[in-house]
Structure 1
Amino acid sequence: MTPPFRLLAITPPTGPVDPDLVTRWRAGAGDCALAVLLREPGAAPDVLLDPAGRLAPLVRRCRDRAIPLLLAVDLAHVARAVELTGIDGLHLRGDPSLASLAALRPRLPGLLGRAVHGEPRPGHHLVDYTLVAPVFPPTTAQPGAPLGSKRPLGLAGLRAWTADPAACIVALGGVGPETARDCLAAGARALAGIGVFFGPPGRVEQDVAALSEQLRAWHVLPPPTRA
């Protein structure tokens, strides 16, 4: 399955975000397809899209640059999220069940993704992508949880997910220029991260460029367009 994006920038769980990083992503990624996942643990959809909220400047910049926006939601918030406009798809958190995916798919005209952990499970035909995490120890901690508290799947766990030819797997967790090649060799179709996209601007541009080059090498993507 062809992924709807090759790079997925996931917003940090707390704190402000710099909208000018979007320019750095574009410079580094070239023509490598990029999307942004608006995510804040426990936040309702209206909070994530609040025009006065912490993510609002980033949302506006992404819309100006025609970068697809995905909304991370818990199952309890799906009904409200479906009503909202200005997003390109939903990302279900918390290892959603097969029944919940089957119920939501007909109601959603845009993209549908899911976040999963642990052993492979069915449902690839109901989603556009599956975000598998963490592959390696994450570099960003969740609020209230110590860094490194999540047990990584490792490359063997990632390969177990990508073994299904119907799977469109996005790798998350410790994914960066040093580990991306191993994830792609294990069958990942796209790469996701938090810190790699929301760090110091100069480093972000370099890291995104490195990820893009590795994706091109593995998946024969179009050459980058340079201004």
Structure 2
Amino acid sequence: MTPPFHLLAITPPTGPVDPELVGCWRAGAGDLALAVLLREPGAAPEALLDPAGRLAAVVRRCRERAIPILLAVDPEHALRAAGLPDVDGLHLRGDPSLVRLAELRPRLPGLLGRAVHGPPQPGHHLVDYTLVAPVFPPTTAQPGAPLGSKRPIGLDGLRAWAAEPAACLVALGGVGPATAAACLAAGARALAGIGVFFGPPARVEQDVAALSEQLRASHVVSPRTRA
């Protein structure tokens, strides 16, 4: 399955974000397809798009550069979030059940993804991508949780997910220049991260460029995204 993007920048759960980093992503990615996932644990969908909120400048910069914007929402808020302006798709949190996915898919016309953890689950035909996390120990902690509290599934776990032919997997959790090639070889079709996209600008551009080169080398990049 062709992924809807090749690189997914996930906003840090707290704190300020530098909108200038959007230009670093684009410079590093070149012609590869990028998307940004607006995420803030506990926040209502409307808060993620608040024009006076902490993510507002990043949203504006992504719009200027035609980078798709996805919202991370709990399944019970998905229908409300789908009606918000300037949203290209929704990302369902918390391992949504197959029953819930089947209920929501006909009512959500845009891009739809899900976050999953642990062993493989059905439902790939109901989403455009499945974000599998964490593959390796994540470098960013959840608010209120110690770093390393999430158990990584490892490359074997990622391969188990990739055994389903319909799966379009996005790897998250410890994914960076040193680990991306292994994730792609294990079946990931796209790469996601927080720290790799949000940090010192020079390092971010360098790291995104390294991920992009590994995506090209792995041949998961569709011809339509090549220069």
Asked if these proteins are the same fold (TM beyond 0.5), I'd say yes
Q: Is the 8 A contact 2:79 2:107 kept in 1?
A: no
Listed as ranges, the matches of 1:102-181 within 5 Å are 102-181=102-181
Q: Distance in 2 between matches of 1:76 and 1:224?
A: 38
Q: Distance in 2 between matches of 1:189 and 1:79?
A: 27
Which residue of structure 2 aligns with residue 68 of structure 1? 68
Deviations 1:104-136 (A, max 9, x none): 111112100000000101000000000000000
**Local SS of the residue matching 2:191:** strand
- Aligned-pair identity in percent equals 83
Report the Cα offset of residue 85 of structure 1.
Answer: 1.6
Q: Distance in 2 between matches of 1:179 and 1:82?
A: 34
Q: What is the one-letter code of the residue matched to 1:56?
A: A
Structure 2, unaligned runs of 5 or more: none
Question: What RMSD in Å do the two structures reach over aligned CA positions?
Answer: 1.2
Which residue of structure 2 aligns with residue 83 of structure 1? 83
TM-score, normalised by the number of residues in structure 2: 0.97
Q: Is the 8 A contact 1:69 1:89 kept in 2?
A: yes
**Local SS of the residue matching 1:205:** helix
Report the Cα offset of residue 76 of structure 1.
Answer: 2.5
Deviations 1:25-79 (A, max 9, x none): 0110000110000000111101101010000000000001100000000123123
Q: Is the 8 A contact 1:29 1:224 kept in 2?
A: no
Q: Is the 8 A contact 2:181 2:214 kept in 1?
A: yes
Q: Is the 8 A contact 2:79 2:108 kept in 1?
A: no
TM-score, normalised by the number of residues in structure 1: 0.97
Report the count of equivalent residues. Answer: 225
Q: Is the 8 A contact 1:3 1:129 kept in 2?
A: yes
Which residue of structure 2 aligns with residue 34 of structure 1? 34
Q: Distance in 2 between matches of 1:170 and 1:141?
A: 19
Report the Cα offset of residue 224 of structure 1.
Answer: 7.0
Which residue of structure 2 aligns with residue 15 of structure 1? 15
